[in-house]
Structure 1
Amino acid sequence: MNNEANKENINHSNNSKTLECHECDLEVNVPPLEEGEKAQCPRCGFIITAIHRNSIERILAFSITALIFLFSSLPFEFLSFQSNGLENKFSIISSFNVLIENDYEILALLELFTIFIIPTVLLLLLMILLIPLRKGRYPKRGHWLLKIIYKLMPWCMVEIFLVGALVSLVKIIGIADVQLGPSFYAFIFFSVSMTSALLHIDRVRLSQQLQLVNPFPIKQETHQKKSISDKRMSIQTTWALIITSVVLYIPANLLPIMNTRLFGQDDPSTILGGVILLWGMGSYPIALIIFIASVAVPVTKILALAWLNYSVQSERTNLTTERIKLYRIAEFVGRWSMVDVFVVIILASLIQLGNTISIYPGSATIAFSGVVIVTMLAAMSFEPQLIWNNSKSYDKKTEQ
């Protein structure tokens, strides 16, 4: 098959096919879709696939742009801080060094992976996958690359770091003169480009396109459907992760998340203490953001996952639609709790003026990071299909 024929087949890869809904296992007959159209599961409402105009070209363009702005944001000044004649500035690279010098290697690694290593790997994998595909050729281990891309996507927290930077600015702008460096603007463009690239990715669409251009389909790369018994095994894993998150959440709230040293005197603050302080200072929006991200979201997510896991373990048959909506919300918002961690990292990197005024991460920062990571893993381990397995509406028959 020549390249032109491959390209033509790619453009028409959404001929009528039977696709399985990722969230309820319903098999749906999906007719040919036009640009801008999407296929939605008639039972649970999950978007099975969507057709974006020139999706491959757009993903490649956004990926290349994001990679350029990412490396442009690293070496230059990100933020500068000036107060009472004293000044400090930092770049993204120097923030790693500050954390390491203060014996917070775990936080340095967390920042390094979530805003640099994982995004870089993601962008490179997208280019390795899509450049040959655009030319009608099958990229080496294409299905495996697509699987890795989807595994990495939730751990790319570029936009969350940017929100953390904005929250940090608001927290200190009233007590000091803060200047935005060139890296800050580059990081904004990087975040927008990265997010745009990821939003255009459609796994079903790309899988179909890969299948069309693969001259030698590899059996190992085909999707292996889990049995109901295999899915039910995930209940124990989810419980273990939920319990772990609860255990970590206790020190995350009791221990100080940030320590401020002012004229040689240390002033540690907990998550709730920081929220109360911000509220008392009149910074109501920031106090609400921190409270929602650091208290409301983690607690709600833990409770939601616990109830969902209990409901499938006890084989409940009611409230299927409500439970699947709750699962989607819990899965989406959980990673945003990392905002508070990034706020601490940015403030600790920026405000380093010795005994005059310096900020250091507290012990709770690591515990709270663990809560966010473990709850994300719990949401990933939970099998949403189990919500429907005992429902009266559960039927494996194919629907249009």
Structure 2
Amino acid sequence: MRCPECTLALTLPPLAHRQKALCPRCGYQLTQYRNQALDKVLAYSLAALCFLGASLPFDFMIFSSRGQFQTISIPLSISTLMEQDYLLLAAVQIMAIYLLPACILLGLIYLCLFLRRDRYPPRGAWVKRLIYAMLPWSMAEIFLVGALISLIKMNDIAEIHLGMSFYAYLIFTLCFIAVLYYLDEHQLVEQLRHSGQERWQKAQRQPKPPGRMIQRTWALLLAATILYIPANLLPIMNTRLLGRDDPSTILSGVVKLWQNGSYPIAVIIFVASLLVPVSKLLVLGWLTYSIQRQSRMLKKWRTHLYRITDFIGRWSMLDVFVVAILVSLVQMGNTMAVYPGPAAIAFAAVVIITMLAANSFDARMIWNPKLDEK
């Protein structure tokens, strides 16, 4: 095989339980072998899918203030956003926390059921590619953290209780994390190849040649930078209390949390919504520029930096989920209500575009910048 990040040709030795194989040049983890991993992926996928379905029909949170009560379920949360014409926020929420995780789980269950019988699943290569394409956009754990932050933010002015759906979604998230822990792409590929050598080879597409992605990455970074300005200057959320509006930007929301003594939450929001997006834009810009200059310095360090940037970038969606949850939860007319600000749309677009920019960046060119010329 070849390392996916530095293209070094490698021969993998047999691995014992929990042993990892790392690329000797760039340090990329090629695979990790675990005994009975396929059975565990199947078991946790089935459990996760059951709890995901169980989180739909019940109350997610219960909000009470001044004798008034408001309950929210996840389907109601999405429909509330759609009724207020915030279709992008509704689409992001339903795709990231329900549809994509469900499709990933169904795809894994499908593959595992065939592979356990040592049979090649029809269109198995296509299903495997689809699963790994959807994985970065599944944000169940980020949504759950956003729900907890929403609870803390509103705790001073109202009572919030957790419903049965919250606990069902919590167990689903833990099971989903366990699925990802036992899932290994290389081991899955080997099992697919072993179950149907000829059908697997026929289904393989020629890998895309590296390079010719620099212009696309620059275009996406430019678009994200332009959108990041209104995302920080305009209000991301507007709170109406007894007929008075209190708009807040991302930074002012962090300041309020800090002043109220919620220091850990203030730090989390600051890192996820301010530090991470700026760092990601700067790092991706610098990496792209270094490739254009055909720099051969600090190759391993730049590769590690790209991995970190690509991993943490999705957590910037945290503030968007907080706004979406509060908008759905707090709707009591002029007494108390929360509405998304124009910055919510801009910031969601920034996160999506920066993720696309990271996906379009070709880490192989760090090790061979001249690949862009081929």
- How is 1:241-280 mapped onto 2 (pairs within 5 angstroms)? 241-280=220-259
Q: CA deviation at 1:380?
A: 0.7
Q: Pick from 82, 86, 92: which aligns with 1:100?
A: 82
2:196 counterpart of 1:202: no
From 315, 318, 325, the equivalent of 1:346 is 325
1:361-395 per-residue CA deviation (whole Å, 9 max, x = no partner) reads 1111111011111111111110111111159xxxx
Segments of structure 2 that go 5 or more residues without pairing to the other structure are: none
CA apart distance, 1:301: 0.4
Q: Does 1:149 align with 2:131?
A: yes
Q: Secondary structure at the match of 1:359?
A: strand
- In structure 2, distance between residues paired with 1:381 and 1:255: 29
Q: Distance in 1 between matches of 2:20 and 2:207?
A: 23
Where does residue 60 of structure 1 map in the other structure?
A: 42
Checking the alignment, whether the CA contact within 8 Å between 2:193 and 2:200 is kept in structure 1 is no
Tell me how far 1:57 sits from its aligned partner: 0.5
Matched to 2:26, the amino acid is: C
**1:376 counterpart = 2:328:** no
Matched, 1:281 2:260: yes
Amino acid at match of 1:24: C
Q: Give the secondary structure class of the aligned counterpart of 2:129.
A: helix
Note the 1:1-400 alignment, pairs <5 A: 19-214=1-196, 216-217=198-199, 219-227=201-209, 231-390=210-369
Aligned-partner Cα distance in 2 for 1:141–1:179: 45
Query: Take 2:292 and 2:264, find their aligned partners in 1: how far apart are those partners?
Result: 40
Query: What amino acid is the match of 1:201?
Result: L
Q: CA 1:53 to 1:219, structure 2 compared with 1: closer, same or farther past 3 Å?
A: closer
One-letter amino acid of the counterpart of residue 93, structure 1: P
- Inter-partner Cα distance in structure 2 for 1:213 and 1:88: 53
Q: What is the identity, as a one-letter code, of the residue corresponding to 2:291?
A: V
Amino acid of the residue matched to residue 276 of structure 1?
A: V
How far apart are the structure 2 equivalents of 1:41 and 1:202?
Answer: 16
Counterpart of 1:12? none
Deviation of 1:332 (Å): 0.4
How far does residue 225 in structure 1 lie from its aligned partner after superposition?
A: 3.3
Amino acid at match of 1:302: L
* Alpha-carbon distance in structure 2 between the residues aligned to 1:128 and 1:20: 28
Cα shift at 1:221: 2.2
Q: CA deviation digits over 1:61-105, x for unaligned, max 9?
A: 111000000010011000011112111110001101111111111
Equivalent-residue separation in structure 1 for 2:363 and 2:187 (angstroms): 22
Give the distance between the partners of 1:84 and 1:29, measured in 2 at CA. Answer: 67
Q: Which runs of 5+ in 1 are unaligned?
A: 1-18, 392-400
SS at match of 1:81: strand
Separation in structure 1 between the aligned mates of residue 16 and residue 203 of structure 2, nearest angstrom: 28
Q: Distance in 1 between matches of 2:302 and 2:197?
A: 42
**RMSD of the TM alignment (CA)?**
1.3
User: Are 2:49 and 2:102, in contact at CA under 8 Å, matched by a contact in 1?
Assistant: yes
Shift in Å at residue 222 of structure 1?
Answer: 2.1
Runs of 4+ displaced beyond 3 Å: none
One-letter code of the match for 1:139? P
The offset of 1:118, in angstroms, is 0.6
Secondary structure, in 3 states, of the residue corresponding to 1:49? strand
User: What percentage of residue pairs aligned between the two structures are identical?
Assistant: 50
Q: Which amino acid aligns with 1:20?
A: R
Deviation at 1:130, TM superposition (A): 1.2
Letter in 1 for 2:76: S
SS in 2 for 1:23: coil
Q: Which amino acid aligns with 2:170?
A: I
Aligned equivalents of 2:362, 2:127: Cα separation in 1: 23
Residue aligned with 2:102, SS: helix
SS in 2 for 1:88: strand
Question: What SS class does the counterpart of residue 29 from structure 1 fall into?
Answer: coil
The TM-score, its normalising length taken from structure 2, stands at 0.96
Aligned mates of 2:343, 2:208 — CA distance in 1: 38
**Mapped partners of 1:298, 1:163: distance in 2:** 18
Q: Secondary structure of 1:368's partner? A: helix
- Alignment deviations for residues 150-203 of structure 1 (CA, whole Å, 9 cap, x no partner): 000001100000000111111111222111100010000000111111222211
Q: For residues 49-70 of structure 1, what are the alpha-carbon distances to aligned partners after superposition, in whole Å with 9 as ceiling and x for unaligned? A: 1112211101111110000000
Normalising by structure 1, report the TM-score. Answer: 0.90
